[in-house]
Amino acid sequence: MRRLIGLTLSLVLLSLSACALFPDRDALHINVVGIEPLQSQDLEVRFAVKLRVQNPNETAIDYNGVALDLEVNGRPLAAGVSDQQGSIPRFSETVLTVPVSVSAFSVLRQTLGLSQTQSLNNLPYVLRGKLAGGLFGTVRFVDRGTLDLPTTVTW
């Protein structure tokens, strides 16, 4: 029994010291800087979401995939993924473009949830996502703001 307690305590201390080996990173600054329409199919609308990613750290951030979930007015609206990969140099920034899909049913849910005085513009959004970077390099992020949809969307 004493060995089990000693082994457990050793594993806990070892795991805590392992965390100290990883450098502290400041959070990335990620903002939506544009939403552009893409060619749509059948009962879905597609957009290209442009994200400005700023790295305020002393080391580069490597990524090998991006995933996004967009919630508008408290309801899920769109999701998208991209297998793009690259690196954001230290104290630098880049713009990533991720295609997202919106089903007609999501748009219908959004429209039914609006009051008669609201439109699809200036609604609050929450964008959740991640930059995949391997076992310990994945960076999750959240951006909040108000949405202005492009007017050239056709069904």
pLDDT digits (tens, 9 = 90+) for 42-51: 878 899 999 9
Q: How far apart are CA 84 and CA 131, in angstroms?
A: 10
Rounded percentage of the chain residues whose pLDDT exceeds 90: 32
Per-residue confidence band for 144, with pLDDT thresholds at 50, 70 and 90: confident
pLDDT confidence of residue 113: 62
How much is the pLDDT for 41? 82
Delimit the domains of the chain by residue range: 24-147
Q: Is 24-147 in CATH node 2.60.40.10? A: yes
Q: Is the pLDDT of residue 152 over 80?
A: no
DSSP state at residue 153: -
Higher pLDDT, 131 or 75: 131
Identify the band that residue 139 occupies on the pLDDT scale cut at 50, 70 and 90.
confident
Largest CA distance in the chain: 70
**pLDDT tier, 118 (very low <50, low <70, confident <90, very high otherwise):** low
User: Residue 101 above 80 pLDDT?
Assistant: yes
Sign of the CA dihedral 45, 121, 48, 133? negative
Distance CA 68, CA 71 (A): 10
pLDDT tops 60 at residue 76:
yes
Strand order of the sheet with strand 75-82? 29-41, 44-55, 92-103, 75-82, 66-72, 123-131, 139-147
Average pLDDT, the chain: 79
Question: Token digits for 51?
Answer: 């994200």
112 vs 123, which has greater pLDDT?
Answer: 123
pLDDT tens-place string over residues 4-48: 676 666 666 666 554 444 556 788 888 888 889 999 888 788 999
Most confident of 22-26, 99-103, 109-113: 99-103
